[in-house]
């Protein structure tokens, strides 16, 4: 499942964020979106977790958690594989 992470403290990097997600399970990838001109964090990013149950626990556990100077907002990304298949005939 792809997870959207908002309100990331701009001093944090991918490793910092991924470490928090790993407490809940396997993390395939983690990225913090950066400004192309400055290379600085834009304050949001994405994590990819392969196991739905672990991803749901990570969302519940990290949403609202203060890391650095900001409280994260964490939710399922709109283009998550699970969201895409929901409601389609034959989808699980």
Task: Read off the pLDDT of residues 4-56 as tens digits, 9 standing for 90 and up.
Answer: 999 999 999 999 999 999 999 999 999 999 999 999 999 999 999 999 999 99
Count of domains forming the chain: 1
Asked, for residue 91, whether it belongs to a domain, the answer is: no
Asked, for residue 90, whether it belongs to a domain, the answer is: no
Asked, for residue 23, whether it belongs to a domain, the answer is: yes
Asked, for residue 37, whether it belongs to a domain, the answer is: yes
What's the predicted TM-score (pTM) here? 0.83
Domain at 40, CATH number? 3.30.70.330
Domain containing residue 77: 2-83
Asked, for residue 92, whether it belongs to a domain, the answer is: no
Asked, for residue 47, whether it belongs to a domain, the answer is: yes
> What beta strand segments (E) does 1-92 contain?
2-6, 29-34, 41-48, 66-67, 70-71, 73-76
Asked, for residue 88, whether it belongs to a domain, the answer is: no
Please tell me the predicted confidence (pLDDT) of residue 19.
97
Q: 92 versus 58: which is more confidently predicted?
A: 58
All residues at 6 or more sequence positions from 89 whose CB lies less than 8 Å from its CB, including other chains: none
Nearest by Cα to 76 from 87, 86, 66, 68: 86
Please tell me the predicted confidence (pLDDT) of residue 80.
55
Asked, for residue 70, whether it belongs to a domain, the answer is: yes
Q: What is the pLDDT of residues 56-86, one digit of tens each?
A: 999 999 999 999 999 999 999 987 544 444 4
């Amino acid at each position: 499942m792809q997870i959207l992470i908002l309100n990331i403290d701009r001093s944090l990097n991918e490793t910092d964020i991924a470490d928090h997600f790993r407490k809940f399970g396997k993390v395939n990838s983690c990225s913090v979106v950066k400004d192309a001109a400055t290379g600085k964090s834009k304050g949001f990013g994405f994590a990819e977790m392969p196991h739905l149950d672990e991803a749901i626990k990570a969302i519940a556990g990290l949403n609202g958690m203060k890391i650095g100077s900001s409280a994260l907002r964490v939710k399922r990304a709109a283009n998550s594989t699970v969201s895409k298949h929901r409601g389609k005939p034959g989808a699980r």
